Amino acid sequence: MPRGDLFPDIAPFETGLLPLSGGHVMYWEQVGNPRGQPVLFLHGGPGAGAGAVHRRFFDPHHWRIIIFDQRGAGRSRPLGELRDNTTPHLVGDIETLRRFLGIEQWMLFGGSWGSTLALAYAQAHPERVTGCVLRGVFLGRRQEVEWFLYGLRRVFPDAWADFAEHVPEEERGDLLNAYLRRLCHPDPALHLPAARAWSQYEGMCSTLLPSPDTVASFAQDRTALGLARIEAHYFAHDLFLPPEGLLGGMDRIAHLPAEIIQGRYDMVCPAESAFDLTAAWPRARLTVIPDAGHSALEPGVRLALVAAVERFRRRG
């Protein structure tokens, strides 16, 4: 897929490993202008990890781009670790990284689960946030998890059948726990096939048109294990969010500006959540992409994300 509408490939000017609580170690990197306006990239999943393409949404001459892999994901260690891995832990990790890098405030950029974590962090530390660019909004509500596990079969019955048929028929009434048992099993012969089945299901449903490259990237063992195991763990615990949910804390960030980018045909995180969030956020601007699904790399979505970041740049 040509991606000339993103900024050119760029290497980090600094990388590191930051020890965290519970034996976790965070991979982090800085890209772009060391004296630029700070922006924090929050990857999806939870558990998906970040990649080189995520650096390219930002003009490296202007932005000081901070990217990290969340607990158990990507290049952070140990891969797929669930102990001490909750949303409050991740919010604390972001603060640890901010203090370590000596940053006073930063803009938040996150899609899918990254939008969830951005909201959770902003509500916990509104004084540290200058604004948000969010994509494919996921609020972590029970109905959103149920949609992923069962509702998607209405649109992707073939992908859902492959997903469901990985477990015996008698366990399909509780797919989440059926998968979680397999994903947490110590034997790779059990947990890796389950991780691939879960991750490929998500990949197949993430784009408006079929994208073999997207599915292949989701199917890689390292990506699949972090994504599936951690995602199932978070789903089983209501994403470790407060009882009132994220919409219940919007008064804490009502003053912050936000750009929300949503694919009209996003099946992984349907547009209802983006509309609900916009209605609760006085300074949010919603852009609906008429010919896109969930992926940040679909042409209309990536164009809109770059444009949204540029609008924040002009705000200064």
List residues with catalytic annotation: 112, 266, 294
DSSP string, 201-240: HHHHTSSSS--HHHHHHHHSHHHHHHHHHHHHHHHHTGGG
CA distance 174 to 78: 28
Q: Residues 87, 239: contact at Cβ < 8 Å?
A: yes
For residue 45, what is the enclosing H or E element? none
For residue 131, what is the enclosing H or E element? strand 129-135
CA triple 198-80-199, angle to 5 deg? 15
Q: Residues 226, 49: contact at Cβ < 8 Å?
A: yes
- Can you tell me which residue has the tokens 């012969």? 189
**Longest CA–CA separation in the chain, Å:** 58
CA distance 191 to 228: 10
- Can you tell me which residue has the tokens 């640890």? 96
Using only the alpha carbons of the chain, give its radius of gyration: 18
CA distance 141 to 116: 10
Q: Indicate the length of the chain as a whole number.
A: 316
Q: What are phi and psi of 272, to 5 degrees?
A: -50, -40
Pairing mode of beta strands 37-42, 129-135 = unpaired
CA distance 201 to 219: 9
